[in-house]
Chain A
């Protein structure tokens, strides 16, 4: 025990470990906030689709050799989020197919570009990193951290400002429109926040595991809690705790950060399922 403690103490004397922890916890918090809405609006897969777009955008950014990929990735992902939402509304191509199309298309083009214009010698290593998250988010530089903190603040602030609207639009969009509120504006807000969260979370868990980060805490919380507010608060706590413990475990045992966090999320989900069985039996 003392040994582990010493090891941690050593690690935490380095600033980059703190960066990783700060970034990890903020991303976990942000991604859990919208998870509930996305699950309930049957948008679970928009997260997946957008993350593939972000993957493609990263490949494009790699070609230009930018110092910070985010300047290309963020706008492209936000634009795709808005487009996906549009196609969801006009019924020419239904939302489901549109998401599949954009997501697989971006994945293919992205991989193609990465192979054609390799930015480093180790292509499969690069691809693996973008798909499953950096083997360590311990390589974050200070400007990555600042960008992440700024975006998290934007996401959290937007969520708090629009909380009641997001609830109303999620629960019954037609009612909101009928009472004269422009529901589409709030759908747009949801899409943009989602896109920002996805770009953020790419760093932590990679594009294949993002849906897990967004959805598991929400599903866990929905097992046990019964009001929207309590579900949101619970899923935020679950997500932050899982991310924190995932990062610690991966530091101590050298496992990949992203999948360790998701494993923790899955474990909590199973625990919450069992708890919900007991609650139901008592009721």
Chain B
């Protein structure tokens, strides 16, 4: 396939996804290499979040195989979840949340080490939320909250990030900032896999596109190839007509 560079980190072969034996999507094949920026596109309910959860090992695939290679293990992936309502009244400071990204590193030790705290502080600095560190998470703006969760994900893993709709609910300015931030991280060498509804941004920033349709994969390959294929144009026209 053209445009692949670097060592493969994640290989999905003939993956089927679903819940309780009911298949949501099948025949999913793709390879993510070091430094790639993969965008997963698809309609609501096509199984994007399910794919993310399967990649993270939160649920088992119905069929097929996920291979981790190139020095990536199951726990080496930082995860930014699609926003959930449960945490709306959660009393937690920004710092407590970002520190909790180091949870896997500290094993059975009951407290965080100096190095782990330093890492968390560094990530907060990188994402420009150092001044917020003592603030309460639930009182932040949507964009600030996403930065906090991104900082937490970066504490957990510095090689690969899985982002499930990181810009949903943000205003256009915050969306643009978030995309720039993710792009910067990607340029620093972090592999990015992102779920998105935003055709324009996806094709602008991503190096590769995975498009999931009803029940099956419609396209996987480089962004250039996607723009030339019919799949992309149909989705783009739909997106344009929906958005305005």
Contact = CB atoms under 8 A, between A and B. Distances in A.
Contacts of B136: 226-227
B56 A164 contact: no
20 contacts: A36-B91, A40-B89, A164-B99, A164-B103, A164-B106, A167-B92, A167-B96, A171-B87, A171-B90, A171-B97, A172-B87, A176-B100, A178-B56, A178-B75, A179-B157, A180-B104, A226-B135, A227-B91, A228-B91, A230-B91
A160 B111 CA distance: 9
A60 interface: no
Contacts of B78: 179
Which of B100, B106, B136 has the most chain A CB within a 10 Å cutoff? B100
B: contact size bracket: 35 or more
A174 interface: yes
B81 A175 contact: yes
B148 to A, nearest CB: 11
B139 interface: yes
B48 to A, nearest CB: 15
B110 A226 contact: no
A7 interface: no
A39 B132 CA distance: 26
A2 to B, nearest CB: 44
A42 B157 CA distance: 29
Interface of A: 36, 40, 42, 160-165, 167-168, 171-172, 174-181, 221-222, 225-231
B3 interface: no
Nearest to B136: A226
Contacts of A162: 110
A175 B151 CA distance: 13
A163 B79 contact: no
Given A160-B110, A175-B79, A168 B103 contact: yes
Contacts of B73: 180
A174 B52 CA distance: 12
B234 interface: no
B82 to A, nearest CB: 10
Contacts of B157: 179
A41 to B, nearest CB: 9
